[in-house]
Amino acid sequence: MPDSQRKALAKYRLAKSTECSLVADSLIKEGHYIHSVNRSYYAIFHAIRAVLALEGADFKKHSGVISYFQQHYIKTGIFERKYSEYVKEAFSIRTDSDYKDFYIVSKEDAQEQLDHACLFINAVEAYICQ
């Protein structure tokens, strides 16, 4: 795939990421915290896939996407280590909230996840647009 198509795909995925963050914000305002953390996770996930699009990398499983990002972008110092923590926490909370019965997400938890997702999106946008 030519570089121009990779860049276009990265921007598309970043837009998808931004849309997820907007939905997460709306869900917080409506009091749907458990659904908001799901959208915040997907905001981060799509942002990671935007980065990977620049080099033509993609994986079928979330774990593959996250692992590749950790190894090639966090460990190499391209992105700060705090973004690794944001990914791990978002994945954990999203998994627990989706699959554990009676899992409770507070408004503060949902807001923190959204704040991290927005920071993540901003960092990815800066990286893509450099």
User: Distance between CA 55 and CA 94 in Å, rounded?
Assistant: 27
Indicate the pTM of the whole model.
0.96
DSSP 73: I
User: Distance between CA 9 and CA 50 in Å, rounded?
Assistant: 7
- 10-residue mean pLDDT series, the chain (130 residues): 91 98 98 98 98 95 97 97 98 96 96 98 95
The CATH class that applies to domain 3-128 reads mainly alpha
Q: How much is the pLDDT for 54?
A: 96
